[in-house]
Structure 1
Amino acid sequence: MQTEPIHERALKTIYYGVLDRMAGRRGLSRFVPVGLEPFCDITKRLPHDGFRMVFDVGANVGKMTRRFGRLLPDAQVHAFEPVGETYDTLRRQTARLPNVTCVQAALGAEEAKVDIVLQRHSAVNSLRHAGAPANGRPVETIKVTTLNRYCEDRSIEHINYLKIDAEGTDMDVLRGGRRMLDDGHVDFVQAEVGFDADNPALVPFSTCYNYFADRGYLLFGLYHQTLEWSGRPYLHFCDAVFVAERIAGRSAKPRAKAVELEHQERRRTG
């Protein structure tokens, strides 16, 4: 597994800590440059929209879950992590966030129970390892459900923000939530995408882009860009955020009106 240099990881911790505080305050978020933090950009573009339902699929130990829980105190955050030991850590890390619900399950294309080979680092555990030779490594049976079924069972009709980090099985998560997506019940989707088609741990950006384009979603932005750690000069992966066209259209109309009024004022005073 490739590892990020320690000094870069430390600087990112400080950097994202500052962005988190700014993203949580509408008055400050407007000063953050576009492209650094999705919630700051969303606040600028959609100042009157509030998030009430957030899904963190592939929560691992809860780094992003905690960010969601703190930044969006009025939202319900559902965090999915199937591996027992990692799930226990997730629960401990989010115990003081009353708006977070932890779910010990993976989301996939269909409901199942599968055996996966556990990896040395919890962040790379994946359904891709189901049925692989154990080679002495521990194996755990995990529960897989679908986005559609989970929402149906809990009468969840709408998701404002869906974050997916499923280590290469992100498309299966989307297939299992096709009804929610096709019916327009998801506003924003954040997916980890790669730019090397030969890397099975990352869904190629083009695959993800085309999938969302076919369902009426636009690319909102690319965030948390990470260069190839080997030193080769190309982009390794990033978080791609997509927005439903109906949301983008709702934002564009008042902005267009404001621009037109500004032009009228310039002509009047010019």
Structure 2
Amino acid sequence: MNWKYLTGKTFSSLEQGLLKLQLNFISKNYPYGRNWMFDAKRILAKEPSVIVDAGANIGSISKELSYWFPLAKIIAFEPVKHTFDQLLKHLGNYPNIIFFQKALGAAPGKITIEINRENTINSIKATYNSENIIGKEEIEVVRLEEVLLEQQIDQIDIIKIDVEGFEFEVLEGQGSLINQTKIILLEVGYEREITKVHFSDVEAFMEQKGFMLCGIYETRRNLFDKRKLWYSNNLYVKKELLNS
């Protein structure tokens, strides 16, 4: 294994360990833009009560969210059965996580999705190389606003969205609840492609809805031209929260 990789991984583990001590000195002096959950915790200034994980996959983000925000109710959505079963296997005993085997979208209904060998890139929008497709599955799509109202929830502290190009449909499905949302973390692309919502479109939408870009995380560069950005996870915060 490459020694640079090992060194970087060791320092990263030490850094994460220090953050999780949640010392006041670290909270005040640690630079923004390195760990989005830690940044969100500092921006909110108080413990969140509701977090949504749209595109939970097998639960790695929900697990981290549960650590950083142990008092929050985390609502995890994952539509693909095999992936959802893995999610339950990993996190089914977490009392603060609610699981839905559903996709989020702009309108309720049923849709057929192609299942990829790599479960992290299953997408409602994309059709991949047939060699990578191992089957098809009909999934249920629901509006987030309707699900949360059924749960008697009328606000969202944090929503993380990673749904391979379906992000705007998820945001539309929030309905009026987007006005009661404090922080949005979503994957954005810097080139026009079907599995990524474009940065400029996201910026325009967020500006219209009263959000400001406050962090860019886990940036990836174009596989064939390292001069170009490919995608990143971007943190948007309601402007009124920043002014409080």
Global fold match (TM > 0.5):
yes
Deviations 1:81-135 (A, max 9, x none): 00000001011111342111111000011001111111111001111148x9978
Residues 114-133 of structure 1: pairs in structure 2 closer than 5 A: 114-129=111-126
1:202 aligns with one of 196, 201, 204: 196
Deviations 1:186-217 (A, max 9, x none): 100001001012x2111101111111100111
Q: Is residue 89 of structure 2 the alignment partner of residue 92 of structure 1?
A: yes
Deviation at 1:19, TM superposition (A): 2.6
Residues 45/148 of structure 1: CA separation in 2 closer, same or farther (3 Å cut): closer
Residues 240-251 of structure 1: pairs in structure 2 closer than 5 A: 240-250=234-244
- What is aligned with 2:170? 173
Deviation at 1:43, TM superposition (A): 3.9
RMSD over equivalenced CA pairs, Å = 2.6
Q: Distance in 2 between matches of 1:22 and 1:200?
A: 36
Q: Distance in 2 between matches of 1:53 and 1:20?
A: 25
Deviation at 1:17, TM superposition (A): 7.6
Deviation at 1:41, TM superposition (A): 2.5
Q: TM-score, normalised by structure 1?
A: 0.80
- What is aligned with 2:31? 33
What amino acid is aligned across from residue 226 of structure 1 in structure 2?
R
Q: Distance in 2 between matches of 1:205 and 1:65?
A: 25
Aligned partner of residue 236 in structure 2, secondary structure: strand
Moved more, 134-143 or 51-60: 134-143
- What is aligned with 2:228? 234
Q: How many residues align?
A: 240
Runs of 4+ in 1 over 4 A off after TM superposition: 7-14, 132-136
Paired residues of 2:79 and 2:102 also in contact (CA < 8 A)? yes
Residues 1-270 of structure 1: pairs in structure 2 closer than 5 A: 15=12, 18-19=15-16, 22-23=19-20, 25-27=22-24, 28-47=26-45, 49-129=46-126, 137-181=134-178, 184-197=179-192, 199-250=193-244
Taking only the aligned residue pairs, the percentage that are identical comes to 25
Deviation at 1:11, TM superposition (A): 5.1
Structure label with greater radius of gyration: 1
Deviation at 1:45, TM superposition (A): 4.1
Deviation at 1:145, TM superposition (A): 0.2
Deviation at 1:38, TM superposition (A): 2.0
Q: Distance in 2 between matches of 1:17 and 1:202?
A: 32
Paired residues of 1:61 and 1:87 also in contact (CA < 8 A)? yes
Aligned partner of residue 134 in structure 2, secondary structure: coil
Residues 56/43 of structure 1: CA separation in 2 closer, same or farther (3 Å cut): closer
